Structure 1
Amino acid sequence: MYSEINFNKAHFTQSAPSIRECPPEYGVEVAFAGRSNAGKSSAINALTNNGKLARTSKTPGRTQLINFFSLSDTQRLVDLPGYGYAKVSRDMKELWQRHLSEYLQNRQSLYGLVLLMDIRHPLQEFDTTMLRWARKADMPVHILLTKADKLSRGAAASTLAQVLKEIRQAGVGQQVTAQCFSSLKRQGIDELKTVLQQWLNPVTQEEAAAVPPVAE
């Protein structure tokens, strides 16, 4: 039986430009990823009941680093760089994507991925790329269809069903779950917490502290 996580205790620990500057490989972490306008920082702030924890900006794409938030000595949330809207050079975007790929494929303490999509524009190219990476790494994914308050309840439910259908048809949905979510209306927070409780407690504390190093 695992201990209940108090997400309100989340606090920022460090930022890293690439996997080489990330914290040591111990414990277990869950990463949040999404296009720059998907509401990722707002979702993290709603989850932790702290409006200032993850930086939000009216200019999409400001989050350019991998940001770590501690929940306990062996449990972390990770805010990955947003992608798709930042007004930077092509070379810089390619560098961000390379660092993102390295983190997702090589970070041994990463257990699962929360993938955020604007419910009005789901399954963009970046989203399907992330799903393929997760499938290759045999990693579970939980999709948050954000800004669900922008649609009626019926339209939101229909979009959720269509997204699940499309990822099954694409062959990337074996370990994928999804839900509707609204940071503004605080919709879906309890459902998200239930998923994270399971993911962040997959092993005993002793086992979590002894994650094997990445093979050279």
Structure 2
Amino acid sequence: MSLINLEALRATPLKTDPYDYFVVPAFVSGKALDDVIADFPDIQSTGSIPPSELDIRGAFEQLLEEMNGPEFRAAIEEKFGLDLSDRPTMFTVRGYCSRTNGKIHTDTKSKIITVLLYLNQDWEAGGGRLRILRSGTDLNDAAEEVSPNGGTLLVFRRSDNSWHGHEPFEGQRRAIQMNWVTDEEVVAHEQRRHRFTATLKKLNPFGSRAAREAASETY
């Protein structure tokens, strides 16, 4: 049985203000969400970590496979009017957020589509809610604020104005980031960078300046 709700994705309209994006609440829900959270990798540090550096198993492994599968790709292609068949994918996983995360950014130009899937049951905190922003200077000038819980899916087309960020939050904040990128060299470079970050985090989970700088793009 599938863990993701492709019908809800297809039925969700694409928004174009201030850039192309859409949000699907409960993209993973019910028992599927419970199972994915139960199998979420044991991450005890901040920063983005490649799946290759984690113990991937069970429902969480199935979720990654479905997100990297042809049906999900076809739904994203249809939504954005793109052909992604020759574009590689890249995944990173986050388990914790530090108060230095969430600064406004657009994502690197090597990324074509950014997919964010939030895997927290509840979210009471004011911080940590990703904002779709109209500028790179004002965190309060938001078109929409997305709470990182309930299996919510956020997908956007990367552009020079795809600004996003969130108010500071420190603590557990589970999320998957998936990207379609321009070429395989991007994947290799980014995976090396995130492995370097993960190594630094193992040595100093919450205090490494180098690790914070290496993982400046947050979600």
Tell me if TM exceeds 0.5.
Answer: no
Bigger relative contact order, structure 1 or 2 (CA pairs below 8 A, ≥6 apart): 2
Which structure: greater helix fraction?
Answer: 1
